[in-house]
Structure 1
């Protein structure tokens, strides 16, 4: 039963990330990479808006009985996300002081998509 839940969660997560990607592309952002993983953490989507790199965390909830999706990007998750972001920049020889970048959240609650810039 646990294995089935994990598989379903993975499918829902990939679907949510695809929905977020398509939504952001429809808003003019360009896709660079998805599912960047390192020991520090992971980044769901890496996009570009004009000359700025946009690192995106995608949160998805089918129901709001335990809060909305955006609430799940807490300080602990943000610290891990920022560590993964720094790892990405370093691995790609990008100086965080000279490259424009930001963190955004795409929160999907059922069919509703909320794009939160500059989290």
Structure 2
């Protein structure tokens, strides 16, 4: 039973990421990496949006509000550390970075919170 829930959650997360990726691509962004794992943790999507590198954390739940409530300060720190790791490994130390949160509700609707992540 527990394994089935975990598998469903993983598939649901992948579908949400794909949905968010299509949303960004329709707006002209180009995928650089997905589910990239650095020393500090994983970044769901890394996109090139004009001159900006966009690091996207995707959260999905029944409602956008519930999805947004799932993001914690420790995770924000890990995402930012991973973004710096990514830039260092790819020679992008001077790149302009943006940290977005993409919320996906139970109906698959996407809400993008641009520049949503800031470190305390």
TM-score (normalizing by structure 1):
0.89
Q: 1:6 offset after TM fit, Å?
A: 1.1
Q: What does residue 112 of structure 2 align with?
A: 115
Distance 1:102 1:2, change over 3 A: same
- Equivalenced residue count is 115
Structure 1 residue ranges (4+ consecutive) displaced by more than 4 angstroms after TM superposition: none
Q: What does residue 29 of structure 1 align with?
A: 29
Q: What does residue 6 of structure 1 align with?
A: 6
Q: What does residue 40 of structure 1 align with?
A: 40
1:70 and 1:25 map into 2 onto residues whose CA distance is 22
Q: 1:73 offset after TM fit, Å?
A: 1.9
1:63 and 1:26 map into 2 onto residues whose CA distance is 23
Which segment drifts farther, 16-25 or 67-76? 67-76
Q: 1:63 offset after TM fit, Å?
A: 4.8
Q: 1:93 offset after TM fit, Å?
A: 2.0
| Consecutive unaligned residues in structure 2, runs of 5 or more | none
Q: 1:113 offset after TM fit, Å?
A: 1.3
What do residues 7-43 of structure 1 show as CA deviations (whole Å, max 9, x unaligned)?
1111001000000000111122111110001231100
| Consecutive unaligned residues in structure 1, runs of 5 or more | none
